[in-house]
Amino acid sequence: MAENLNTEQDVDTYTEVQDQENAVIAGKYLMKERFEIDFAEHISWLDNNGAKAYAVSDRIDSTRRLFALVCSNETSPRMTILPYLKSIDNPALMKMVEYGVINFLPEESKNMALIYEMPLGGKVFEKGISNIDLASNNEKFRKVALSLMGLNDAFKGMEMTHRAIRADNLYYKDAERTEIVVGDCAASFPAYYQPPMFEPIESLMADRQARGNGTFRDDIYSIGMVLLCLACGKDIGRDLLLPQVLQQKLSKGSFTFVCSLEKVPTTYSSLFKGLINDFADARWSYSSVFNSLEGKPINHTINLAPEKAKRALNIDRQKVYTATEIVYTAHLNIDAAYELIVQGKLSEWIKSSMEDEKLASRIDALAKQELSSGGNKDLTVARACILLCPNMPIRYKGITFFPDGIAKAVFLQMKHLQSVDVYVDIFGSDLIRLWYQEQEDLRSSANITDFKLYILRREIGYGIERIIYDVDSDIPCISPLFGKELVYAPQNVLRALDSSFNEQDISKSPYDRHLIAFLRCRMGKKIDNILADLNSSRDELKAAAVMHLYTNLQNKYGPAKLNNLTIWLVNFLKVIIKVYHNKKYQKYLEKELVKIAKTGKLYEIVELLENEHALEKDRIDYANVLNEANLLINEKNKIINHTDKMDEEAKEAALRFASVLAMMIMTASFAFNLISWVLQ
Amino acid sequence: MKQKNKANEIHLTDSFKRLNWLQKGALAFFLIILMITTFPIVLILMIGLLPTITVMYTDRRNYDKQIIIGCFNLAGVFFYLFRVMGDYAAHNGRFDIVGDVTMLILMLGAAALGLVLYNELPALYIYFARSNYKHRIEKINQRLEKLSEEWGIDIPASNNEEAEVKNR
């Protein structure tokens, strides 16, 4: 009882918090009792990374100029880095003040809102043209370059990447336009909105949703391009399309390609070469940039692009000279590349042109393995490409991805209700494991070996859904049960189900594969027993599992009242009522459940349906009733099946009776007549 | 069953055969004397017990029939027999009583009553027994139906068999 009381108190506390959070006042949303987001005041020039910007007023400090980026639900914000971004106070980064899920009134949906300090000086690049002259102002250029490199180091220190450093994401922090800051990086997938000019080759080769978090070296490349744009005073290659940029970067190298587009200031030529180097490992660090800007000598030489082989390799009549080009061309010509691999031409070329015996023998081994097993061209080419160029993304059946970005690609695919069969094949193969094996400074997640197992197990709580939520903590649960609600954590699950009640068909189950996989990933092994019950063939066990899961969630996270969800659950839990045999008790339970539905407290359902005493009594009574019914049926059958015998018995009894009667009458007659005779 | 009945049968002829000729002659002599001395009684018995004698001859193994008809027959005969015994002593062996139709009806009617009882009482018993079974089955069905309604148990259908019971 005391435990229940505590639970109720906890739940009530959550309700208060939730009620406060849900404050919507005259078209404005009050976030965390402090920040008033005015949806009527859209600040379009601050729209960024697919998010829309709205004016924000701070109720505590009204002098503070803030704006909110309301993230689109089309993609997902980078949830895992938000707490860090809020804590960072870097002069080169737009200050994030707060973040949280809000009611986005214009779209009547729940969205993530990121509140930033307003850049008072506006954007650095307006319509692709810079409004600052850094080329002639060495000191200012130096300050900007070092602050950006400092920002990169700060991110690196927290094992984060920005992946949105580009010309149109630069702002003046102050009205005097003395400080430049980089804008938001968390409103969408990493590098999802990056123009092709600002991304290194390997990132460009990946599908934009599957670029992954990347490394700090990717940010250095972007910083290099931003500095180049600042130095040139324009957003270079703004209108160029990705295939064109990629082709040019591959064939010429990034720096040479940029030089072909714009005249690069010679003063900083070496700096730009160091920053937008196509060799990720050779990109300059903060100290190299500092030394270069200070005019100090740089110790290492700058290799701008991979050295080309003397002899070209022909892939489908295209001549390629570098491993990167081979990978790129092979991705576009799978059949031709496959032939080269299995015929041993690729390994021969590697031996003769790249002079890498070890790699050639591995490609040979792959070809032999393929010849013996026979089959999947895409898989063989993908494996060969990983061996050939490990820093490039994996490509399989038209999908190019970095392993840390594949979950987001699957997320988008599922969100658009498109087939994820290819992704299932990928997780069922060893491609991701092989890719991580080839990386020198990247470690795979511990459960990568479980992917195959998850794919093979089709039970609820496993499958591809489990993988995406397991490998990527950024993505919200995309269960259709949530409607327009946004669920990033188990805390929001019940609230979202309760809110989306009107959009749902309550005759269906209040859970699905996504929801359970999401909860398993976020709550861990403690719900494994729930998974076991959910995969049972018995409906009442499934219902009981869901009931316990949701009750635990409500007890732990609230809210105190879940009127809609309770109605849904009451409808769903009717199978548990049928566990009780007594029909009268079943009707009683149904009536009680209707009453509980009005209170919205799930633990009351558990208390009602899982009453040990009532269950035991029902069980014993039912056993007695079965026994009685069997006896009655036996008796009935005996009567029905043995009528002839019983007739015979009746006949015998009748004759016995008649005999006794006859003897008695005879005796009576004898006695009467004897007495009469004697008396005469 | 038949063999057992045969074994239990009393074979008077066999017993009679076991006697020697002297014993047989003495017995015959004794019976003749007895019949001559109690002739009116023997005559009444022979006439009055005619139905019983007939049944004993026609349904030798139907002991129930023999007992019922015999006992009723005897009950009727006793009225006449004791009267004859009284009259015999008073009127020194008058035989006119043999011509009393009332007494004949009484003796033979009692046997007829026994026959009616033998024939109809089993049918009556079966009728009541069947109505009792039917009533019991109805009670069982009602109880099972109630249990089914209250507990949702599946009762195996036996409608055809029930119909058989009703049709009988």
For residue A218, what is the domain's CATH number?
1.10.510.10
Pair of tokens at residue A169: 């994401």
How many angstroms separate the first and last alpha carbons of chain B? 28
For chain A, what percent of residues have pLDDT higher than 70?
95
Q: Kindly state whether residue A625 falls inside one of the protein's structural domains.
A: no
Give the model's confidence band at A206: pLDDT under 50 very low, under 70 low, under 90 confident, else very high: very high
Kindly report the average pLDDT of chain A as a whole number: 86
Which of B65, B71, B142 to probe by mutation at the A interface, max A CB count within 10 Å? Answer: B71
**Pair A201, A269 in one domain:** yes
Is A140 in the same domain as A286? Answer: yes
Gap between the Cα atoms of A383 and A121, Å rounded = 50
- Report yes or no on A88 lying in a domain: yes
Q: Are residues A678 and A658 in the same domain?
A: yes
C-alpha distance from residue B91 to each of A207, A213, B86, B88, B95 (Å): 144, 145, 9, 5, 9
Supply the pLDDT for residue A182: 93
Same domain, A107 and A147: no
d(CA A498, CA A367): 55
For residues A98 and A18, the model is more confident at: A98
Longest CA–CA separation in chain A, Å: 169
Would you say residue A141 has pLDDT above 50? yes
Q: How far is CA A22 from CA A101, A132, A565, in A?
A: 10, 43, 18
Q: Can you give the CATH number for the domain in which A57 is found?
A: 3.30.200.20
Residue A669 lies in a domain: yes
Report chain A residues whose CB lies below 8 A from the CB of B162.
Answer: 640
Q: What is the DSSP string of A296-355?
A: PPPSS----SPPPPSS-EEETTEEE-SHHHHHHHHHH-HHHHHHHHHTTHHHHHIIIII-
Count of C-beta atoms within a 10 Å radius of residue B114: 31
Q: Which of A118, A145, A180 is the last residue of a domain?
A: A118
Give the distance from residue A190's alpha carbon to the nearest chain B alpha carbon, in angstroms.
60
Is B48 an interface residue toward A (CB < 8 Å)? no
CA distances from A469 to A77, A528, A624, B146 (A): 14, 16, 50, 53
- CA neighbor of A303 nearest in space, from A262, A270, A336, A331: A270
Distances (CA, A) of A670 to A439, B84, B111, B133: 125, 14, 15, 40
Q: Residue A146's domain spans which residues?
A: 123-294
| Number of C-beta neighbours around residue A631 at 10 A | 11
Whether residues A144 and A108 share a domain: the answer is: no
Q: In the prediction, which pLDDT does B166 show?
A: 34
Note whether A256 and A141 are same-domain residues.
yes
| Residue A495 clears pLDDT 80, i.e. is over it | yes
Are both A168 and A82 inside the same structural domain? no
Indicate the residue of B78, B85, B147 with minimum beta-carbon distance to A625.
Answer: B147
Tokens of B12: 């008077």
Work out how many domains chain A is built from and give that number. 4
Q: Where does the pLDDT of residue A251 fall: very low under 50, low under 70, confident under 90, or very high at 90 and above?
A: confident
pLDDT, tens only, A175-193: 888 889 999 999 999 999 9
A624 touches chain B (CB under 8 A): no
**Is residue A381 classed as helix, strand or coil in its secondary structure?**
helix
The two tokens of residue A628 are 């009685």
Same domain (yes/no): A156, A97: no
Final residue in a domain of this structure, among A294, A315, A342: A294
Within an 8 Å CB–CB cutoff, is residue A45 touching chain B? no
Full-prediction pTM beyond 0.80?
no
> Which 633-672 residues of chain A touch chain B by CB within 8 A?
633, 635-637, 639-641, 643, 646-647, 649-651, 653-655, 657-659, 661-663, 665-666, 668-670, 672
Q: Give A393's DSSP letter.
A: P
Query: What residue ranges of chain B have pLDDT lower than 50?
Result: 1-8, 159-168
Q: Give the tokens for residue B102.
A: 């009332």
What is the structure's pLDDT at B97? 60
How far, in Å, CA of A376 to CA of A385, rounded?
A: 14
Strand ranges for A477-631 from DSSP E: none
Q: What is the pLDDT of residue B160?
A: 41
Is the ipTM higher than 0.95? The answer is no
Tally the C-alpha atoms within 13 A of residue A10's C-alpha that lie toward its C-beta.
Answer: 14
**Which of B 84-143 lie inside 8 A of A, CB atoms?**
85-86, 114, 117-118, 121-122, 124-126, 128-130, 133, 136-137, 140-141, 143
For helices B101-151 and B39-48, what crossing angle results, to 10°?
Answer: 40
Does A48 reside within a domain?
A: yes
Cα-based distances in Å from A514 to A112, A465, A510, A581, B152 = 20, 6, 12, 34, 37
Q: Pick from A577, A621, A627, A636 the residue to mutate for testing the B interface (most B CBs within 10 Å).
A: A636
Asked if the structure places residue A627 within a domain, the reply is no
Judge if A286 and A143 occupy the same domain: yes
B84 or A559, which is more confident = A559
3-state secondary structure of A68: strand
* Same structural domain, A508 and A583: yes
CA torsion, ordered A67, A72, A78, A84, to nearest 10 deg = 10
- Cα A28–Cα A31–Cα A33 angle in degrees, nearest 5: 105
| B133 interaction partners in chain A (CB closer than 8 Å) | 639, 643, 646
pLDDT grade for A172, boundaries at 50, 70 and 90? very high
A222 and A103 in one domain? no
pLDDT at A306 over 90: no
- Plot region of A316 (φ>0 → left; ψ -120 to 50 → alpha; else → beta): left
Q: What is the pLDDT of residues A603-630, one digit of tens each?
A: 888 888 888 888 899 889 888 888 888 8
Query: Among the three residues A567, A587, A610, which one is the final residue of a domain in this structure?
Result: A610
Per-residue pLDDT tens for A620-669?
988 888 888 888 888 888 888 887 888 888 899 999 999 999 999 999 99
A317 is a domain residue: no
Mean pLDDT in residue range A45-56: 92
pLDDT digits (tens, 9 = 90+) for A68-118: 999 998 899 999 999 999 999 999 999 999 999 888 888 888 899 999 999
Chain A residues 576-615 with a CB less than 8 Å from chain B: 581-584
- What is the structure's pLDDT at A17? 44
Percentages helix, strand, coil for chain A (3-state, rounded to 5) are: 60, 10, 30
Which residue of A625, A635, A649, A665 to mutate against B (max B Cβ within 10 Å)? A665
pLDDT at residue A516 tops 50:
yes
Q: Is the pLDDT of residue A197 over 90?
A: yes
Residue A200 and residue A274 in one domain: yes
CB nearest to B114's CB, from A640, A647, A662 = A662
Query: Looking at residue B92, what is its pLDDT?
Result: 52
Query: B121 and A655 in contact by Cβ < 8 A?
Result: yes
Identify whether A330 is part of a domain. Answer: no
Task: Please name which of A337, A293, A331, A295 lies closest in space to residue A315, comparing C-alpha atoms.
Answer: A337
